Structures are given as structure tokens and as C-alpha cells.
Structure 1
């Protein structure tokens, strides 16, 4: 038998005010995207903003459907749009803001498992880590310098 120890390193900022201007701009775009979410069932809104190496910023918001599996998360909406519109661009960083309309979240909310896997695919594709900043409605902001901190055993083509 062998035991494996997994460690994740995150940086927690007390608020958006602690971040450099370029990161605050990206988070602001994620917050604005969150307000465009279509979430009539869960009342849970998420916005994502992605900075590409060509300087473009792509945003996305969650889009629900009465047939729940048919909806799409903000992170995947943004990342797939970036991949379709700018297929050769690399993703430098992503900002995410999420909250419930019923009870605003003040703690950082990381991407769901399906979104983590989608982000992992792009890290693998570009052979470079993607910085991920995530937060609730307000409050602390968490930074993961790579998706690997959030999903250490991701599924990739090596297992196919």
C-alpha cells in the first residue's frame, strides 16, 4: 500500500481592493457578466471573465434550462466561446464571481467539477497554467495559480 498526500496552494485576498488594477478589471467584468445570468430556477448567478494572450477579454454567465442538464455554467460558456472565437489564443487568467440571489455569498465559490475539467482541458492544450481568481458576491477573493490546485487528478487524453 502507498499513501499519497495532495496539497493545494491558494492565495486569499481580503477584498478586490488588494488586487492589482488589471485583476480588478477582470473581476469587474466577471461581476457584470454575473448580472446577465439566466438563473430562474436556482436563483444562483455566476459570471466569468477570461483574459487571453491576445489581450481580448471574453465573458460568460450561467444559462439555466428547465431540463437542468441542458444548462451551461458561466465558466464553460466563456471558455468555449474563447476557444471558438480565438482558437489559437492562450488563456492567461480567469475571474469568477458567484452568488445566490436569495442569500448573497461572501466567501469564494470555486468552479464546479464539470467546469474544472473544461479548464483542465485548456491548460493541457496550451501547456501553460491558467490563473483562476474566484469570489462570492463580495468579500474574499481566492487565487489558484493553476487548475491543478483545484482538480489534482484531472482526466486527460493519456487515459484514453
Structure 2
């Protein structure tokens, strides 16, 4: 037996004001998108803003459904729309924010497993890493240079 160790590196910012200006703007759009979340069941609202290499910004918010598997997370709403509208554009960076209607979220909230896999698909397709910034409602923001930091054993088409 041998042990395998993975090391991941994130940058941590204490406030939105510490982010680069373009990322501050992206996070502001994600915060606005979060307000449009349809979350009557979980009471957990997520907003995302995606910057594409063509200059477009795509936003998304989570959309729930009484039949839980029928809803969709904010990240996938935005990624799939970007893929459908701008199929040749690359995702440069994304800003994610989450807030609960019942208690204040102060810790950075990363994408869920399904969203990580969807982000991985686009990162692999475009052969370029996607910077991911994520936060709660307030407080610290974490930055990952690539989805590989969040999902080191990515499943992709080479396994099929």
C-alpha cells in the first residue's frame, strides 16, 4: 500500500472590497442573482455570475421544485445557459454566493457535488481552468484557481 496525498491551495479574502475590481463587480451580480432564487423549500438562496471570454456575464439562481430532483442549482442554471447561448465561449471565472432565509451564512459556501461535476465538464471541454470565487452571505471569500482544487478526482470522458 502507498499513500497518495493531494494538496489544494485557495486564496482567502476577508471582504468583497479586497477582491480585484472585476471580481467585485462579478460578485455583486451574483448577490443580485441570489435575490431571484426560487427557494420556498430549502430557504437557501444561491446566486452565481459567470464571466465569459467574450465579455458576456451570465447569472443564475437556484430554482427549486416540490419534486426535489426537478430543481436546479444556480451554478448549473448559469453554466448550461452559457453553454447554450455561447457554445464557443470559455468560462473565465465565476462568483458564487449563498444565503439562508433562517440564519446568516458567514462561511464560504462551495458548489455542491453535482455542480462541481458540471463545472468540471466545461473546464475539461475548454482546456482552461475556471477561477471560482465563493462566499456565504457575508464574510470571507475563497478563490480557487481551478475546479481541480474542489474535485481532485474528476470524472470525465476519458473514462468512458
Common topology (TM > 0.5): yes
SS of match in other structure, 1:36: coil
SS at match of 1:92: strand
**TM-score in terms of structure 2 length:** 0.99
CA RMSD of aligned residues (A): 0.5
The alpha-carbon deviation at position 69 of structure 1 amounts to: 0.6
Following superposition, the deviation at residue 158 of structure 1 comes to 1.1
Determine whether 1:132 maps to 2:142.
no
**Aligned residue in 1 for 2:119:** 119
Structure 1 CA distance for aligned equivalents of residues 129 and 98 of structure 2 = 22
Separation in 2, partners of 1:110, 1:8: 14
Count of residues paired in the alignment: 160
Q: C-alpha offsets along residues 44-70 of structure 1, whole Å, 9 cap, x if unaligned?
A: 000000000000000000000000010
Distance 1:124 1:21 in 2: 27
Gaps of 5+ in 2: none
Deviation at 1:156, TM superposition (A): 0.5
- Deviations along 1:70-101, one digit per CA (max 9) or x if unpaired, are 00000000000000000000000000000111
Ranges of 4+ aligned residues in structure 1 off by more than 2 Å: none
Report how far residue 104 of structure 1 moved: 1.4
CA distance in 1 between partners of 2:96 and 2:47 (Å): 6
* Displacement of 1:21: 1.0
Residue in 1 aligned with 2:89? 89
User: 2:40 corresponds to which residue?
Assistant: 40
For residues 121-152 of structure 1, give each alpha carbon's deviation from its aligned partner in whole angstroms, at most 9, with x where no partner exists. 00000000000000000110000000000000
